[in-house]
Amino acid sequence: MQPQIIPNISVDCVIFGFDFETKSLNVLLIERFLKADEGNEPLVNDYVLTGYHTYEGETLDETASRVLKELTGLDNLYKKQFKVFGDPNRLMNDRDIIWAKNQNFNQRTITIAYYFLLQTHEVNLRNTEHKAQWFPVDKLPALGFDHKAIINEAYADLKEKSMYKPIIFELLPDKFTIKELQDTYEAILGTEIDNRNFRRKLITKKFIVKLDEKQVGISKKPSHLFMFSKDIYQKAYKENYLINI
């Protein structure tokens, strides 16, 4: 038996993935397609975030994890409930109206938006039922509903948090070079960072642990590898209230 859904409450997931080859922050989107009568342009042909209604008896966090797992097969990722989108009319254009009619949506729906952080290579796109695709956060395709606004707010939140919380490490492999850390910061903040200042500042942090290992498979001079220690970070953070306004 299918669990019963709550018709006016849904969860939408902004899945951010960092792509190390292109050094870009991407978002995973699924195709929304509705074909027209023969010979005509499709009625709807754009992209949306993955999301679904909450089930009765399910917490919102559980809904978000279920939606993520159904699309990507993944769980245990960094998950952040960042905002609710509940404007009375979230159908933004003709495509949304056609789509809503086709799907029998006829009710104001409030969506609780989450974002997830991972690396693009963790998701096997061929495994997904939906046509899912990565898009750079600054080169998004036409989007349905208010999903552009949802992505923009998720990105603003991620940007802000990355400046004072160690969430950037969720986008990096376990072992990374300082250059990779800097590339990731630059991609998220959308700005260049002074090389020497960055190294000097980050390398002194006790929670960025230098390993007795170097990159492999690099033809030029391989760099040292580092890892992030959550334990050391949490200990240091508890002891200090730093006002950095």
* 231 membership: H or E segment, kind and range: helix 230-239
3-state helix, strand, coil in the chain (%, to 5): 35, 30, 35
Pick the piece of the chain touching its own copies (CB under 8 A) from 44-52, 98-106, 132-140, 190-198: 190-198
Question: With respect to its own copies, which residue has the nearer C-beta, 86 or 173?
Answer: 86
245 binding its own copies? (CB under 8 A)? yes
**DSSP code for 171:** G
Range 33-72, binding its own copies (CB under 8 A): 54, 56-60
Tell me how far, at minimum, the Cβ of 127 lies from its own copies, in Å: 30
Q: What is the DSSP string of 73-121?
A: S--S-EEEEEEEE--S----SHHHHHHHHHTT--S--EEEEEEEEEEGG
- Give the C-alpha separation, 46 to 95, whole Å: 9
Tell me how far, at minimum, the Cβ of 80 lies from its own copies, in Å: 11
Residue owning tokens 């997904």: 128
Identify the residue among 23, 35, 75, 84 touching its own copies (CB under 8 A). Answer: 84
231 binding its own copies? (CB under 8 A)? no
Range 94-153, binding its own copies (CB under 8 A): 108, 110, 112
- 172: three-class secondary structure by DSSP: coil
Tell me how far, at minimum, the Cβ of 87 lies from its own copies, in Å: 5
201 binding its own copies? (CB under 8 A)? yes
Q: Which of 25, 58, 32, 7 is nearest to 147 (CA)?
A: 32
Question: With respect to its own copies, which residue has the nearer C-beta, 107 or 219?
Answer: 107
92 binding its own copies? (CB under 8 A)? no
Identify the residue among 97, 156, 163, 211 touching its own copies (CB under 8 A). Answer: 163
Q: What is the DSSP string of 178-217?
A: HHHHHHHHHHHHTS---HHHHHHHHHT-TTEEEEEEE-SS
Report the amino acid identity of residue 185. Y
Q: Which residues contact its own copies by CB under 8 A?
A: 6, 8-9, 54, 56-60, 81, 83-84, 86-88, 108, 110, 112, 162-166, 168, 185, 189, 191, 193, 198, 201-202, 205, 241-245
